[in-house]
Copies of this chain bind each other. A is one copy, B any other.
């Protein structure tokens, strides 16, 4: 290993607060680590790179972008929120300064998190494939007729949803769109997907949590003109009748530094206003 860690700093482009924090944090980062690159354009190419850490300045959206940008070469991420507290970018710049020396000593656990891969296929040909850290969702679009979505799990028809849309969420994504649609919160280390319909027509439809080892395939019998498969907020493609969407575990996990004192329940208290103070029990 190296004597000093090699880091890349990513930041969301064109935001004043990111630039200011970068100015402030950069020399302190450089005092204990080698900065291989600073990318404020979401353009750095991680292919074949062998860095130790990616520091992301921004919010949860920037971390989603970082995960996409690293693609098949995932490097551990430390998120610093420049703005309001995020679920993923849980450290403030000042908290970052506090933990930075210990990070460089290797004093932190690196935790892997589930990512998914969504692939759109037409007549046996792959039209596109996206890596997702949050979720893959089929969304209806104009003219907004109710959708019939067949879901196959490991090759067996599981059910036919009649709904406005359907979300397949990772644990990290469970507090994003999935939560808005009524899905449960999955602890981040759980190896599972949450499957949550949006505005289900049948009232007995409820969110299901299934193993991340399943292969989920989705088809839409009569899609609307702009029914799409959307991964982490980006449209992967329009879905036509007969198209097949496959959602499965990605071969590559997303890695995050586990900061002491931060955990899922703490984040729920801080972000969702859940009750309870933060003192350990006696």
Known contacts A160-B276, A235-B143: A152-B187 contact under CB 8 Å: no
Q: Report whether A276 and B202 are in contact in the complex, using a CB–CB cutoff of 8 Å.
A: no
From B159, B183, B226, B228, contact of A275 by CB (8 A): B159
Partner of A272, one of B150, B203, B265: B203
**Nearest-neighbor residue (CB-CB) of A269 within chain B:** B159
Contact A157 B279 (CB under 8 A): yes
Which residues of B lie under 8 Å from residue A230 when comparing CB positions?
A: 143-144
Measured CB to CB, the closest approach of chain B to A38, in angstroms, equals 28
The reply to whether the CB of A163 lies closer than 8 angstroms to some CB of chain B is yes
- Chain A 144-157: CB-based contact to B (< 8 A → 1; otherwise 0): 11001011110111
| A190 within 8 A of partner (CB) | yes
Q: A278–B190 contact, CB under 8 A?
A: no
- The docked-state distance in angstroms from the alpha carbon of A217 to that of B280 is 13
With both chains docked as a complex, state the minimum distance between the C-beta of A143 and any C-beta of chain B, in angstroms: 5
Contact size range, A: 35 or more
Within 8 A of B (CB), among A122-181: 137, 139-145, 148, 150-153, 155-165, 177, 179-181
In the complex the two chains form, what is the Cα distance from A281 to B184 in whole Å?
A: 29
- Given A235-B142, A275-B160, A190 and B203 touching (CB < 8 A)? no
Residues of B within 8 A of A210 (CB): 187, 190, 264
Q: A150 — which chain B residues lie within 8 A by C-beta?
A: 276, 281
Residue A185 at the B interface, CB < 8 A? yes
Binary interface encoding of chain A residues 17-35 relative to chain B, with 1 for a CB under 8 A from any of its CBs, else 0? 0000000000000000000
Give 15 pairs: A residue, B residue, CB < 8 Å, sorted on A: A153-B265, A156-B280, A159-B268, A159-B269, A160-B277, A161-B275, A162-B275, A177-B199, A184-B209, A186-B208, A187-B209, A198-B199, A202-B274, A209-B209, A210-B264
What residues of chain A have their CB less than 8 Å away from a CB belonging to chain B?
Answer: 137, 139-145, 148, 150-153, 155-165, 177, 179-187, 189-190, 192, 194, 198-211, 217, 226, 228, 230, 233-235, 263-265, 268-269, 272-281
Task: List the 8 closest A-B pairs by CB distance, nearest first.
Answer: A158-B265, A160-B276, A160-B275, A180-B199, A184-B184, A204-B272, A187-B210, A159-B276
